[in-house]
Structure 1
């Protein structure tokens, strides 16, 4: 499976306009090579570097029931029939990078699932991960850096 963004390359800087305090536009993502048998895709964007600053991995975006026929998530939108969950900003939807101290690396993790998830909009990352258990066919990751 392949996950990319037209906004930045893997391991490079995420443009300012995608930051929480600088426009908060959701990052455009493209995906390909989805495994056969995939019924839906799920996305988790989080900040593992926040562990040192706030004591936990900070959740910035969760999205599920993305159609496997879709090959992208357009900037500042979500695919039809997909659902968004609650971030650690206590908001539903995208919450862009907002490192409190120094440059952080953000992870966009895409999962191919063998089922549609029976989760309500506004669910959290733990509920999403529990719901995905034993249903992951493949996963991939894209990383970007952001400096305050």
Structure 2
């Protein structure tokens, strides 16, 4: 039986490993976009329709907003590849629908802001691991925030992470997988 290829990791920490929430609340993030093995559906891949997946989470008492960061630490580069930054999702929200537009400001989501991903575009950029690089793991990290964040779409990940360090009430990490078809 052939040995499954596994990608080299960037070696750098993902956001979840840098932020310690100060609250005692539980937060659980789920999606209906994966199969039983945790593989995200093709329509959410940048090889296909590049639709952001539907996400559902438990509400955290006292949360003024939520932030979601999606990173791929299996990317063949020094830092994890950032696939999605979205913050200021209203505190009363418990889900995001599939296929959000790639706009910096999302009025339909209470004025949530989407940042620039590592492909250089605003909004969601789905999994697109190199062909033959093996299975990649995509970390959908959610943070419940005590306050809304004053950032615009050009805010770098480092600034967002620093704000999360002082503002996160709770967090969760949903890991999904994807592998490029082909040899």
Deviation, 1:9, is 5.8
TM-score using structure 2 length: 0.75
Q: Which runs of 5 or more residues in structure 1 are unaligned? A: none
Q: Name which of structure 1's ranges 121-130 and 96-105 shifts more when overlaid on structure 2.
A: 121-130
Secondary structure at the counterpart of residue 22 of structure 1: coil
Cα gap change, 1:9/1:138 in structure 2, threshold over 3 Å: closer, same or farther? farther
Deviation, 1:71, is 1.2
Number of matched pairs: 145
Deviation, 1:11, is 5.8
Please name the residue that 1:3 is paired with.
29
2:76 equivalent to 1:46: no
Please name the residue that 2:87 is paired with.
64
Alignment partners' CA distance in 2, 1:115 and 1:82: 13
Deviation, 1:94, is 0.3
2:157 equivalent to 1:132: no
Contact 1:29 1:73 in 2 (8 A): yes
Contact 2:31 2:56 in 1 (8 A): yes
2:139 equivalent to 1:107: yes
Cα gap change, 1:10/1:91 in structure 2, threshold over 3 Å: closer, same or farther? farther
Cα gap change, 1:128/1:9 in structure 2, threshold over 3 Å: closer, same or farther? farther
Say which structure is richer in strand. 1
Deviation, 1:10, is 8.0
Alignment partners' CA distance in 2, 1:144 and 1:11: 9
**How large is the RMSD of aligned CA atoms in angstroms?**
1.5
CA deviation vs aligned residue, 1:119-145 (integer Å, no higher than 9, x gap): 012322212112222111100111100
Contact 2:145 2:170 in 1 (8 A): yes
TM-score using structure 1 length: 0.92
Please name the residue that 1:74 is paired with.
97
Deviation, 1:25, is 0.4
2:60 equivalent to 1:28: no
Please name the residue that 1:117 is paired with.
149
Contact 2:63 2:91 in 1 (8 A): yes
